[in-house]
Amino acid sequence: MSSSNQMPTAADAGTITIGGDLHVNRLGYGAMRITGAGVWGPPANREEAKAVLRRALELGINFIDTADSYGPEVSETLISEALYPYPQGLVIATKGGLERTGPGEWPPNGRPEHLREALEGSLRRLRLERIDLYQLHRPDPHVPYEDSVGTLAQMQREGKIRHIGLSNVTPDQLTQAQKIVRVVSVQNRYNLTDRESEPVLEACERLDIAFLPWFPLATGELARVGGALDRIAQKHKRAPAQIALAWLLQRSRVMLPIPGTGSVKHLEENVAGAGIRLSREDFDELSRLG
């Protein structure tokens, strides 16, 4: 970790290469929380949201994950307002495949025409000619999966997408997609308290593709006073969520956590957590909690 008189940065988490040519620090930023309540509408304080984005770059974060459905459209718009023209080396990943009908409502839409409209909208809002990493947000049970993935592959051939990722998929869906197009990342829910996607993570390790855990800092009952997580956190003089992040980073070499926040203070706490090194004993004890 950085020395005590030096501010921790995302570089303390090490680096990862996505798709063979996107080299980023292994702590990213998830830009869902810079929107309004329920991930709906604009944030209460637009300037504060943009300050978080700028601070993320100052702290060495060079991978930002967003989606057209965050707001909708709000997150992508704020990213371009705050950060354009983008510094060299910044990777902005976005997603398509969900619609928004209200706060907390996320119906899937994997129809080819919707995905094409979604990508074009993201390109326009982000002021980009090509998305470095474009992810299918969720398989649509009403649309053949190969049609959704095939549409992304076609748009990649058109030069509008650099690399393709998936989100919220099973190992079988990852395998199916890989038969259609090269997949370089998977984004599934995964944290200390929810390891249902363990088989997907293991598949990503075998395939050497990035795994982006969403909701990475959840601790739930594991953070109860006197428990193992609480004890380890106190030993390091850190918050339980920071220990949960450190555990993720040590769990797998392909792990690229993307914790999100609308607060500069919380952002700085997350980055500080990326530099924590757990002993083998502490890591194993946390691993047994899941």
Q: Which residues are catalytically annotated?
A: 70
- Give ∠ CA 106-109-114 in degrees, rounded to 5: 125
Q: How far apart are CA 145 and CA 139, in angstroms?
A: 6
Q: How far apart are CA 143 and CA 109, in angstroms?
A: 8
Q: How far apart are CA 271 and CA 194, in angstroms?
A: 22
Q: Is 28 exposed, middle or buried (0-12, 13-18, 19+ CB in 10 A)?
A: buried
Give whole-number Cα distances, 289 to 183, 229, 252, in Å.
Answer: 31, 9, 17
CA 117 to chain centre: 22
Alpha-helix residue ranges (DSSP H) falling in 32-186: 46-58, 74-83, 112-126, 145-157, 171-178
Q: What is the DSSP string of 196-233?
A: TTHHHHHHHHHHT-EEEEESTT--GGGG-TTSHHHHHH
Radius of gyration of the chain (CA): 18
Q: Is 129 exposed, middle or buried (0-12, 13-18, 19+ CB in 10 A)?
A: exposed
